[in-house]
Chains A and B, each alone.
Chain A
Amino acid sequence: MPSGGVEFSEFVQHLFLGLVQGSFWVLLALGLSIVFGLMGIINFGHGAFYMLGAYVGYTVSNLIFTPIFGPNVGFIMAIVMVPVVMFGIGMVFEKYVISNIYNTENERFSGVLIMFGMSIFLPDFVRLIWGRPGKPFNIPPMFQFSLLKTGTLDITAYRSFTIITAAVLVALLWVLIYRTNLGMMIRAGTNNNTMVKVLGINVSRIWRLTFGLGIALAGFSGVMIAPLFAVDATMGELILVQTFIVVVVGGMGSFIGPVIGGLILGQLWALTPLVGRTQYVVQNWTGTVIGPDFWEKASDILLFIVMAVILLLRPRGLFGQEGAFD
Chain B
Amino acid sequence: MLEVDSINTFYGLSHVLHDLSLKVDEGEAVAFLGRNGAGKSTTMKTVMGLLTPQSGKITMEGADITQAEAHTVSLAGVSWIPEDRQVFTNLTVFENLKISRIPIDGAKNLDTHLDWIFSLFPRLKERINNKGNQLSGGEQQMLTMARGLGTEPKLIMVDEPTEGLMPAYVETIENVLVEIQKKGIAILLVEQNFRMALSITKRAYLIEKGIIQWEGASADLLEDQETRMRYLGV
- Residues on A lying within 8 angstroms of B by beta carbon are 181, 184-185, 187-188, 190-192, 194-203, 324-326
Contacts and interface: CB of A to CB of B under 8 A. Distances in A.
Given A198-B80, A200-B103, A187 B88 contact: yes
B71 A188 contact: no
23 contacts: A181-B107, A184-B91, A185-B102, A187-B88, A187-B95, A188-B88, A188-B90, A191-B88, A194-B70, A194-B86, A195-B86, A197-B70, A197-B71, A198-B50, A198-B79, A198-B82, A199-B99, A199-B102, A199-B147, A200-B74, A200-B75, A200-B104, A201-B71
Contacts of B95: 184, 187-188
A190 B75 contact: no
B161 interface: no
B103 A324 contact: no
Contact of B102 (A187, A201, A324, A326): A201
- Residue from the set B48, B74, B90, B100 with the largest chain A CB neighbour count within 10 Å: B90
B122 interface: no
Chain A interface SS verdict (over half) = helix
Nearest to A325: B90
B98 interface: yes
Nearest to A199: B100
Interface of B: 48, 50, 69-71, 74-75, 79-80, 82, 86, 88-91, 95, 98-100, 102-104, 106-107, 147, 150-151
Given A195-B82, A198-B50, A199-B74, 17 more contacts: A181-B107, A184-B98, A185-B102, A188-B91, A188-B95, A191-B90, A191-B91, A197-B69, A197-B70, A197-B74, A198-B70, A198-B80, A199-B102, A200-B74, A201-B99, A324-B89, A324-B90
Nearest to A182: B102
A27 B75 CA distance: 36
A191 B103 contact: no
Nearest to A321: B90
Nearest to A196: B99
B174 to A, nearest CB: 23
Contacts of A184: 91, 95, 98-99, 102
Contacts of B90: 187-188, 190-191, 324-326
Contacts of A185: 99, 102
A198 B73 CA distance: 8
Contacts of A187: 88, 90-91, 95
Nearest to B106: A181
Contacts of B70: 194, 197-198
